[in-house]
Amino acid sequence: MGVAEVLHCEVADALSCLMVTGSEELVSRVIRVKVQDGVNVHFPVTVVVPFCTRYRGNYRDVAVKIVDGERRASYITPVTTEGTYGGQRVRVIRHQASSSRAFAEVRVYSLGLFAVVSCLKRENYTVPTKGLSLKLTMDPRICLNYLPGSFTAPVMAQTTIQPIDAAVLAAVKSRGDSYRSLVSTSPLLYLTHPSSQPLRRPLTLTLPCPPNPEKKRREEQDHQTRPVSVSPPWDQASSHRRRILGVSVKSKEMSNELLIVLGSRDKQWSVLDKVTVRNQLNRLVSFELTENFDRLLVRRQDEPHVVLVAALPSRDLSWELSKLRTRGYAGLPEETSTEISMCEGDQLLLRFSGNITSTAS
């Protein structure tokens, strides 16, 4: 008998919880393949699983995940396939298929549960002692610059990129006032270095981080409504100088935007207060690291353009906070501070610093 005659195949979607972990996405049915009792099978065996191709992209790839009877998982990159399975014609699996379905073909030496999962691409590289400037193949905008002597010996490193979906960003902003100032983030960067090799020199990272869409929209509206003047030929040089000054002012405004780096180490996230983030051209930001982190994220927050300071009786605080929220003020405290005892004639002194203009005396 042939291999197909002694194998039993069935759909096992009820066990899909065993097939995905972390950022993986299930893009096929879960298939259980087992051998009929008392029959020996000569390995390897070829297994072909249909899957949806729309989940492929620059940051993600597909793999066939196999879970055996002891729930041990393994991943196999499918071989290229072009042929007819079940009467359906498909193109090469490593490229965009002509329809929404393709087939993943693998050769295996054990049986169990099979499924095709969409997982984040990993990029492995070696950092020599002379340093390395690396642009990731999955996104050339992301650059890692290791200075000479960053490590005492050549090390193997790995990166993975996970974009932050707009729906996830909207869900985070809806959690409370403290998150509403969040306007965009960079992709989440997974960075793996040997724990036995600490960084000896700063590592410079460049990541894409979109600007504030509302601010960009306001700038475009201002540009459209701004009157255009035509300079005479003898004044073209001075007009050119004015345009250059305008560009430098815009760059200065961008440098004042609030950019925050978050780092994760040992599954604990923290704000890297001592890390300075610099705006670059083409919606890129860069910063330097002096210690290892396994996950990194840059967060762009909206700049407050109106700040209201008011001293209120404690009994009126909840009512006033509700009124301010309806007027669109963000970042309001969820809990009140301790009461401040004041008497008639006492003065409350507040100090602000930075680019602030008072609109009241």
pLDDT at residue 233 is higher than 50: no
* pLDDT tens profile 236-250: 433 333 332 223 233
pLDDT, residue 360, reads: 58
Residues 304-318, mean pLDDT to the nearest whole number: 73
Using CA atoms, how far residue 164 sits from 26, 68, 88, 207, 208, in Å, is 19, 32, 35, 13, 12
pLDDT at residue 227 is higher than 70: no
Nearest Cα residue to 71 out of 22, 119, 36, 21: 21
* Range from 89-93, 131-135, 351-355 that averages highest in pLDDT: 131-135
**Percent of the chain surpassing pLDDT 90:** 37
pLDDT confidence band for 330 (50 / 70 / 90): low
Residues 308-332, mean pLDDT to the nearest whole number: 75
pLDDT, residue 209, reads: 92
pLDDT at residue 85 is higher than 60: no
pLDDT, residue 234, reads: 35
Question: Please, how many CA atoms are within 13 Å of residue 313, restricted to the half-sphere of its CB?
Answer: 4
Phi–psi pair at 120, nearest 5 degrees: -70, 140
Residues 201-221, mean pLDDT to the nearest whole number: 79
pLDDT confidence band for 264 (50 / 70 / 90): very high
* Range from 46-55, 195-204, 297-306 that averages highest in pLDDT: 195-204
Residues 354-360, mean pLDDT to the nearest whole number: 62
Please give the residue that has the higher pLDDT: either 315 or 207. 207
Please give the residue that has the higher pLDDT: either 57 or 268. 268
Nearest Cα residue to 144 out of 103, 223, 230, 203: 203
pLDDT, residue 247, reads: 30
Residues 69-86, mean pLDDT to the nearest whole number: 72
Out of 64-68, 188-192, 355-359, which region has the weakest mean confidence (pLDDT)?
355-359
* pLDDT tens profile 151-183: 999 999 999 999 988 888 888 777 765 667 788
pLDDT confidence band for 100 (50 / 70 / 90): low
Nearest Cα residue to 53 out of 10, 12, 91: 91
